[in-house]
């Protein structure tokens, strides 16, 4: 059997391209979903997939219409699949690790399919490395008076990857239909409100709260402050006996952030590889305001390579869309003390006793003179 996230193109028997498609199969399932954009005309649809083994060299994908999914995603009537639609896709070379190819057949028509598995690529080499906290501040201060950029801090040279994709799950259609409603139900119990996930506003509020409270999502946290990002990077490592050599801060360009999405619901079924900035409603989410926060949404694993390739395609200097800087982790105590003087602490970023306790831990046990 196969599992994973695959992107690629479907072609007709004459070799003409029918459109872009995405195959989503979670490792614990023998079924999944396919997303497609026919003929590049902009309309998107979603269908269900079941998987069966033909022999040691071939796997059969049965693609079929799901009226329930089309209703959920409000697919226009003119773009919906026929009621009798079915397509059989015979996948060859299923033993190949990162690419699959096959033939499709539907209503007497035939064609080919070539899909490539999305995998985590190499980490980005830092564009600048700072051994001193003051040197980082010189870099950060260039952006404090400029509006629009977004920053993310990580306690090591880790690749950008969402918490959802770190679970090895890939099927966002399943996630929205099965997982997020369970979280929303518990959220209503805890907060006393009512959330309608078919509303883009409520959907954004729920997935933002899920992100900030540890439930896996296809989002990554960012902030408009390079110093808030630095706090999160250093707070991860200050108490470690064997910290990594460097922490990392990412910067997304203001232009990239400005062109972000207003709602994430439609992008969940976009078959095109997508990384986009996203600012959800802050309803019930004080952390989002305290941290000057926003998110990126991604339907793919390899976020950094996606942005590097976009820079190359647009003839941009590397680091234009996504700049990466590393700071020596031995600056952690000094940095956190300085950030405390700026008013950037766990107590200001996280409301409640947990934030106060972390603030006092850093102050009492991890100051520069201790």
CA 218, CA 204: separation in Å to the nearest integer?
A: 12
Q: Which domain holds residue 149?
A: 128-365
Beta strand pairing status for 322-328 and 128-130?
parallel
For residue 95, pLDDT beyond 60: no
The answer to whether position 370 is within a domain reads: no
Give yes or no for a contact between 6 and 23, defined as CB atoms under 8 angstroms apart: yes
The total number of structural domains in the chain stands at: 2
184 falls in which pLDDT band (50, 70, 90)?
very high
Same-domain check for residues 323 and 353: yes
Whole-number pLDDT of residue 75: 85
Backbone angles phi, psi at 23, to 5 degrees: -110, 130
Q: Is the pLDDT of residue 92 over 80?
A: no
pLDDT digits (tens, 9 = 90+) for 114-133: 889 888 777 789 999 999 99
In a domain, residue 29? The reply is yes
User: Same structural domain for residues 26 and 154?
Assistant: no
For residue 188, tell me if it sits in a domain: yes
Q: Residue 358 domain-assigned?
A: yes
Does 98 lie in the same domain as 136?
Answer: no
**Same domain for 90 and 164:** no
- Cα separation of 347 and 339, whole Å? 12
Do 302 and 179 have their domain in common? yes
pLDDT band for position 90 (cuts 50, 70, 90) = confident
Question: Chain centroid to CA 322: how far?
Answer: 15
Collapsed DSSP state (helix, strand, coil) of residue 235: helix
Q: Which two tokens stand for residue 54?
A: 């033909």
Q: Which of 50, 85, 117 is the last residue of a domain?
A: 117
Specify the higher pLDDT residue, 265 or 252: 252
My answer on whether 110 and 198 are in the same domain is no
Q: What is the DSSP string of 91-105?
A: EE-TT-SSEEEEEEE
Question: Cα dist. 170→119, 163, 176, 194, 280 in Å?
Answer: 11, 11, 12, 28, 22
Question: Do residue 112 and residue 183 come from a single domain?
Answer: no
Q: How confident is the model at residue 201 (pLDDT cuts 50, 70, 90)?
A: confident
Which of 84, 117, 150 corresponds to the end of one domain? 117
Q: What does the CA dihedral 349, 353, 356, 362 come to, rounded to 10 degrees?
A: -100
Q: What is the pLDDT of residue 281?
A: 63
Q: Which of 260, 249, 169, 177 is nearest to 216 (CA)?
A: 169
What is the pLDDT averaged over residues 325-341? 95
Out of 85-94, 210-219, 245-254, give the one with best mean pLDDT.
245-254
Lowest mean pLDDT among 91-100, 171-180, 251-260, 305-314: 91-100
Q: What is the pLDDT at residue 139?
A: 96
Residue 56 and residue 111 in one domain: yes
The pLDDT, as a whole number, for residue 93 is: 61
Judge whether 122 lies within some domain.
Answer: no
Question: Does one domain contain both 170 and 106?
Answer: no
Could you tell me which of 288, 293, 291 has the C-alpha nearest to residue 277? 293
Query: Which of these ranges, 184-188, 259-263, 315-319, has the smallest mean pLDDT?
Result: 259-263
DSSP state at residue 261: B
Q: Which CATH number is 77's domain given?
A: 2.40.128.120
Convert 201-217 to b/e letters by CB count within 10 Å (16 or more is b). ebbbbbbbbbbbeebbb
Q: Give me the phi and psi of 285, to 5 degrees please.
A: -125, 80
For residue range 27-41, list pLDDT tens digits in order.
Answer: 999 999 999 887 655
DSSP string, 318-357: TTSSEEEEEEEGGGHHHHHHHHHHHT-SHHHHS-SHHHHH
Higher pLDDT, 1 or 11: 11
Residues 71, 161 within the same domain: no
| The last residue of a domain, from among 94, 117, 140 | 117
Q: What is the pLDDT of residue 239?
A: 87
Residues 107 and 146 in one domain: no
Mean pLDDT in residue range 60-66: 91
Residues 259-307 pLDDT 10s? 876 666 666 767 788 898 887 766 666 666 666 778 899 998 999 999 9
Query: Do 230 and 292 share a structural domain?
Result: yes
The mean pLDDT value for 193-202 works out to 87
């Amino acid at each position: 059997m196969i599992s994973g996230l695959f992107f690629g193109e479907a072609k007709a028997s004459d070799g003409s391209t029918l459109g872009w498609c995405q195959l989503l199969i979670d490792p614990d399932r023998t079924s999944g979903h396919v997303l497609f954009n026919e003929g590049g005309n902009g309309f998107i649809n979603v269908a269900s997939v079941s998987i069966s083994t033909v022999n040691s060299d071939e796997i059969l994908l049965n693609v079929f219409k799901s009226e329930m999914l089309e209703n959920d995603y409000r697919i226009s009537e003119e773009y919906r699949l026929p009621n009798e639609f079915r397509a059989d896709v015979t996948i060859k070379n299923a033993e190949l690790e990162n690419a699959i190819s096959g033939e499709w057949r539907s209503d007497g028509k035939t064609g080919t399919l070539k899909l490539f598995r999305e995998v985590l690529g190499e980490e980005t080499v830092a564009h600048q490395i700072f051994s001193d906290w003051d040197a980082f501040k010189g870099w950060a201060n260039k952006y404090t008076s400029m509006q629009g950029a977004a920053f993310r801090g990580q306690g090591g040279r880790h690749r950008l990857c969402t918490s959802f994709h770190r679970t090895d799950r890939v099927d966002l259609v399943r996630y929205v239909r099965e997982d997020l409603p369970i979280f929303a139900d518990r959220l209503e119990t805890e907060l006393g409100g009512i959330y309608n996930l078919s509303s883009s506003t409520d959907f954004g509020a729920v997935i933002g709260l899920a992100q900030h409270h540890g439930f896996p999502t296809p989002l990554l946290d960012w902030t408009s402050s390079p110093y808030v990002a630095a706090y999160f990077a250093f707070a991860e490592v200050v108490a470690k006996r064997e910290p990594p050599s460097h922490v990392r801060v990412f910067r997304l360009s203001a232009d990239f952030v400005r062109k972000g999405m207003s709602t994430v619901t439609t992008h969940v079924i976009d078959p095109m590889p997508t990384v986009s900035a996203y600012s959800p409603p802050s309803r019930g989410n004080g952390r989002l305001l305290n941290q000057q926060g926003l998110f990126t949404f991604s339907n793919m694993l390899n976020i950094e390579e996606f942005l590097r390739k976009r820079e190359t395609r647009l003839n941009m200097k590397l680091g234009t869309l996504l700049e990466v800087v590393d700071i020596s982790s031995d600056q952690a105590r000094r940095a956190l003390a300085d950030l405390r003087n700026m008013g950037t602490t766990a107590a200001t970023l996280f409301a409640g006793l947990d934030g106060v306790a972390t603030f006092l831990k850093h102050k009492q046990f991890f100051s520069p003179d201790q």
